[in-house]
């Protein structure tokens, strides 16, 4: 027993360091086992118990490694070199974390977006529900046709996406509702060249005026002009006419609240189609309708 205690407190010989190292490892294993038992008894939530067990295991292993480092002192007398190497290694290993923290400072200090804003960042579109030190959580909405999202309109998909705050430095950030909570929508309807396009234009303009939120947009525009030196933008609805080789294209442009765009476009489309049908105006299409008529052959006379 005496010789074992002598080896345990001996930090000069290799044998003493080996014994001390073994004791540190055994103590770490015992503490880890005890922490697991304690968590099993005191923590009922399986998910919380799992994460607590992982974190405690990492902390115990790190402390054991530090203790072993003090025992063997591989860089004795070179403390400055050790600190420099550790600092460089830590900075390299945590560059994503450091960038994310810097992005958080950028978000908060620059007012890029806040909780509740509708944004698009790193290809993700949706409403911000949480901003942590490292990540921004977004309640995803549908994307335009051709994307990977199965929801094509601006409706919630049900997914919550976590985006690193570092993306505020590397990717453009689109904020749909920071100061001006309205967007311009355009609905395009093709009319055949022979149709009464002026009546169709009148119908679309009347419906655009009915759904446009110009009054609210005017107030939001005045608020934005107080903060930013930008020119005043027209928010009244318009219908633009463009000639093409196939038809006359009528594009209605109007302002709607950012979170009501899909429902307003749905109502606008239904009313325009109904009124065009009542006016006898067809919507042009690139498709061609072909009617094939089969004529029964006459019976051949008997020879």
Rounded to a whole number, what is the distance in angstroms from the first to the last CA of the chain?
129
Interatomic CA distance for residues 281 and 130, integer angstroms? 49
> What confidence score (pLDDT) does residue 107 get?
93
User: Which residues make beta-bridge pairs with 183?
Assistant: 256
> What confidence score (pLDDT) does residue 5 get?
57
pLDDT exceeds cutoff 90 at 275: yes
Across the beta sheet with 156-164, what order do the strands follow?
Answer: 156-164, 135-141, 124-131, 118-121, 173-175
pLDDT digits (tens, 9 = 90+) for 185-241: 899 999 999 899 999 999 999 999 999 887 788 777 777 777 777 677 778 899 999
253 SS3 class: strand
| Phi, psi of 273, deg, nearest 5 | -65, -40
pLDDT digits (tens, 9 = 90+) for 105-138: 999 998 899 999 999 999 899 999 999 999 999 9
Domain boundaries, the chain: 2-74, 98-175, 182-278
Comparing 65 with 72, the larger pLDDT belongs to 65
The CATH label, of 3.30.70.100, 3.40.605.10, 3.90.79.10, 2.20.25.160, for the domain at 182-278 is 3.30.70.100
Q: Name the percent of the chain lying above pLDDT 70.
A: 82
pLDDT exceeds cutoff 60 at 303: no
> What confidence score (pLDDT) does residue 153 get?
76
- Residue 68's pLDDT band, with cuts at 50, 70 and 90, is confident
- At the topology level, CATH places domain 98-175 in SH3 type barrels. (2.30.30)
Tokens of 11: 């930090």
Other Cβ atoms less than 10 A from the Cβ of 138: the count is: 25
> What confidence score (pLDDT) does residue 200 get?
95
Interatomic CA distance for residues 227 and 196, integer angstroms? 45
pLDDT exceeds cutoff 70 at 3: no
Identical topology for domains 98-175 and 182-278: no
Interatomic CA distance for residues 151 and 147, integer angstroms? 9
């Amino acid at each position: 027993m005496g010789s074992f205690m002598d080896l345990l407190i001996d930090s000069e010989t290799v044998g003493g360091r080996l014994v001390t190292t073994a004791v540190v490892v055994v103590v770490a294993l015992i503490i880890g086992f005890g922490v697991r038992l304690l968590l099993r008894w005191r923590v009922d939530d399986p998910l919380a118990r799992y994460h607590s067990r992982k974190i405690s295991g990492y902390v115990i292993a790190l402390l054991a490694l530090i203790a072993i480092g003090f025992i063997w002192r591989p860089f004795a007398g070179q403390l400055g070199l050790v600190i420099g190497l550790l600092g460089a290694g830590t900075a390299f290993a945590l560059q994503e974390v450091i960038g994310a923290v810097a992005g958080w400072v950028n978000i908060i200090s620059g007012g890029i977006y806040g909780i509740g804003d509708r944004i698009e960042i790193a290809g993700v579109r949706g409403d911000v529900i949480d901003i942590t030190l490292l990540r921004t959580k977004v309640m995803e909405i549908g994307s335009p046709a051709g994307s990977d999202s199965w929801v094509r309109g601006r409706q919630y998909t049900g997914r919550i996406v976590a985006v690193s705050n570092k993306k505020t430095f590397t990717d453009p950030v689109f904020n749909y509702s920071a100061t001006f909570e309205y967007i311009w929508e355009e609905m395009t309807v093709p009319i055949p060249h022979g149709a009464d396009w002026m009546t169709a234009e009148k119908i679309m303009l009347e419906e655009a005026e009915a759904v446009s939120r110009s009054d609210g947009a005017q107030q939001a525009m005045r608020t934005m002009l107080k903060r930013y030196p930008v020119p005043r933008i027209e928010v009244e609805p318009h219908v633009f006419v463009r000639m093409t080789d196939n038809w006359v294209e009528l594009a209605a442009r109007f302002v709607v609240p950012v979170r009501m765009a899909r429902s307003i476009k749905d109502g606008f489309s239904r009313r325009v189609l109904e009124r065009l049908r009542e006016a006898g105006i067809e919507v042009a299409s690139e498709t061609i309708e072909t009617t094939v008529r089969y004529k029964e052959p006459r019976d051949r006379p008997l020879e």
